[in-house]
Amino acid sequence: MTDKNIVLIGFMGTGKSTVGKILAKRMNRTWIDIDQRIEEQQKRKISEIFEKDGEAAFRAMEKAMVREVAIGRSLVITTGGGAVVDEENLRHLKNSGLLIALTAAPETIYQRVKKTTHRPMLKSGDLMTEIKTLLGKRAPFYAKADMTFTTDKKTATQVAIEILGVLQKDEEFEFGKDWF
Ligand code: S3P
C-alpha cells in the first residue's frame, strides 16, 4: 500500500476529525489532528490562544505544525478549517498525500456548530451569516482537494465508508479487506 498520507480538509462542522479518526482506525493508520497537536504543544485550548495571542499567532503555530506533521508518512491527518487558506500549508499537505475535502451545506454546518463554544472564528455576530460569508471565502481553497465528499444527512461512519470505497478502487491504496 502507498505510504501517502490521507489529509482531510474542509470547513468547521464538516466532520473532519470524527471521520478522520474512523478512517485511521479502519485503515490501521495513525491519526494526527493538527489542532489537537497544537493544543497539546501549547498546553491550552485553541480558543484561549485566539483570545490571548490573537489569530495571527494561532496561524503561525498552525503553519509550523502543518510543516512538521506533513513530513510523516502513512498518516491520516485532519486539519482545522482555515489551514488550507495558506498557500504554503496547502502545498505541504498536497505534497504529502491525498487531499480529501469534506463539504456540507451552510444549514448543516449551522446545526452542527450552533451548540459548540470552542470555535473562535464563529463568535462575533449572527452565526448563519458568518458561516455563509466565511464559507464563500473558503470554498475556492477546499475546491483544490483531489476529491470531495458531501456530508449532509450522513453519519461520520457513512462518510468514512464512502471514502474507503473510493480508496479501495484507487490502485495506490491497495484494498485492505479489513477496512469495512
Ligand atoms: C478554524 C477552524 C478550527 C480551528 C480554529 C480556526 C477556522 O478547526 O482550527 O478555530 O479558521 O476555520 P475546525 O475546522 O476543526 O473547527
Q: Which atom of ligand 1 is nearest to the CA of 82?
A: 11
Interval 25-53: pLDDT, tens = 999 999 999 999 999 999 999 999 999 99
| Residue 179 · residue 164 · CB < 8 Å | yes
Distance 91 CA to ligand 1 centre (A): 19
Q: What is the pLDDT of residue 175?
A: 60
Pocket test for ligand 1, best of 7, 8, 11, 12 (most atoms within 8 A of CB): 12
Q: What is the pLDDT of residue 180?
A: 66
Q: How far is CA 130 from the centre of its chain?
A: 19
Angle between helical axes of 87-96 and 55-69 (0-180°, round to 10) = 20
Higher pLDDT, 171 or 60: 60
Instruction: Decide if pLDDT at 11 tops 70.
Output: yes
| Residue 109 · residue 157 · CB < 8 Å | no
Q: What is the pLDDT of residue 94?
A: 97
Instruction: Band the pLDDT of 177: cuts 50, 70, 90.
Output: low
Can you tell me the distance from the alpha carbon of 24 to that of 8, in angstroms, rounded to the nearest whole number? 11
First to last CA, the chain: 16
Q: What is the pLDDT of residue 77?
A: 98
Is residue 82 lining ligand 1, measured as CB closer than 6 Å?
yes
Residue 136's SS3 state is helix
Instruction: Decide if pLDDT at 170 tops 90.
Output: no
| Residue 82 · residue 37 · CB < 8 Å | no
CA nearest 163: which of 1, 3, 16?
16
Q: Which atom of ligand 1 is nearest to the CA of 11?
A: 14
Instruction: Decide if pLDDT at 158 tops 80.
Output: yes
CA nearest 14: which of 161, 157, 151, 154?
151
Can you tell me the distance from the alpha carbon of 133 to that of 126, in angstroms, rounded to the nearest whole number? 11
Q: What is the pLDDT of residue 116?
A: 83
Is residue 119 lining ligand 1, measured as CB closer than 6 Å?
yes
Distance 119 CA to ligand 1 centre (A): 6
Distance 171 CA to ligand 1 centre (A): 32
Q: Across the chain, what does the average pLDDT equal?
A: 94
Q: Which atom of ligand 1 is nearest to the CA of 113?
A: 16
Instruction: Band the pLDDT of 54: cuts 50, 70, 90.
Output: very high
Can you tell me the distance from the alpha carbon of 52 to that of 50, in angstroms, rounded to the nearest whole number? 6
Is residue 80 lining ligand 1, measured as CB closer than 6 Å?
yes
Whole-number Cα distances in Å, 45 to 8, 48, 54, 92, 126:
21, 5, 13, 25, 23
Distant-in-sequence, close-in-space partners of 40: CB < 8 Å, separation ≥ 6? none
Helix H, strand E, coil C: the string for 162-180 is HHHHHHHHCCCCCCCCCCC
Higher pLDDT, 145 or 171: 145
Interval 79-131: pLDDT, tens = 999 999 999 999 999 999 999 999 999 999 999 999 887 888 887 788 999 99
Instruction: Decide if pLDDT at 2 tops 90.
Output: no
